Amino acid sequence: MTAPDPFAAAAAGAARLAELTGAPRHNVAIVLGSGWAAAADALGPAEATVALTELGAPAPSVLGHQPEVRSVTSGGLRTLVFLGRVHLYEGHSPAAVVHCVRTAVEAGCETVILTNAAGGIADGVRPGQAVLISDHINLTGASPLTGPPPPDGYPSRFTDLTGLYSLRLRAVARAAAPGLAEAVYAGLTGPHYETPAEIRMLRDLGAGLVGMSTVLEAIAARHLGAEVLGISLVTNHAAGLSREPVEHMDVLATGAQAAAGLGSLLAAIVAGVQPT
């Protein structure tokens, strides 16, 4: 059997989104990571709320991820705020993991802001701190561009990832919050946390953050021509660097404590974004 065309599925999702929101086009997409959902309120009231399943996406099964997207006007731009995402470790394919991002770009989003909860590896990063992603190391063993080549009219799947995380958008973020640190994000599949030996390896590779999301979405967004900004909330010191065991509930608690500040940061970034 031929697998469904993920690009056609995203185009259908975008058409359904326009129908349900009454907005033919959106400008910015924000994907909220574990514990980030409470930050959505700072971006403005929802003009429409749509279940992810209405867009052809699977519903998240992980605590801390809500199965819906809000359409809001923030900073003068029509913005999609995804209150959750799905992960490879939930048993989904790479195409399913990136479906919402592809749908957002098909809906007109030229800017994609990806957030996540991450373990801190770099010296000086601490729980509760927001850190810009300067680059990533994809250790998931997967890519959203594997399989049949994209249909006619789409870019080649041989995408250059140089400059994947936009320098322009990182400057916008630093203007909104001077002093934001930057680090390389290592994306692994999870759902288990890493061993101390793996964290030592990641540090030797140059990673300052580690998590279980973001990298596939960033690749998919860049492939379709969107500018990408990545922001991690450091929720814990990585394995071997923490005195306490790493627990998912602690990740969510740190996100809840930081929610107000994170929401204000996102709102300020969107206000500083100008369409490309």
**Catalytic (active-site) positions:** 34, 65, 87, 89-90, 117, 212-213, 236, 248
Tally of CA atoms within 13 A in the half-sphere of 71 that contains its CB: 23
242/234 Cα distance (integer angstroms): 13
Strand residues in the chain grouped as ranges (E): 28-31, 48-51, 68-74, 77-82, 111-120, 130-138, 181-187, 209-211, 227-237
169/30 Cα distance (integer angstroms): 13
Closest CA to 213 of 122, 144, 123, 261: 144
Place of tokens 């009219």: 153
Closest CA to 6 of 106, 139, 109, 111: 106
251/117 Cα distance (integer angstroms): 7
Closest CA to 97 of 141, 38, 135: 141
Which spans in the chain are helix H? 6-21, 94-97, 99-106, 167-176, 196-205, 215-223, 248-272
What residue type is assigned to position 101 of the chain?
V
Place of tokens 């204000």: 264
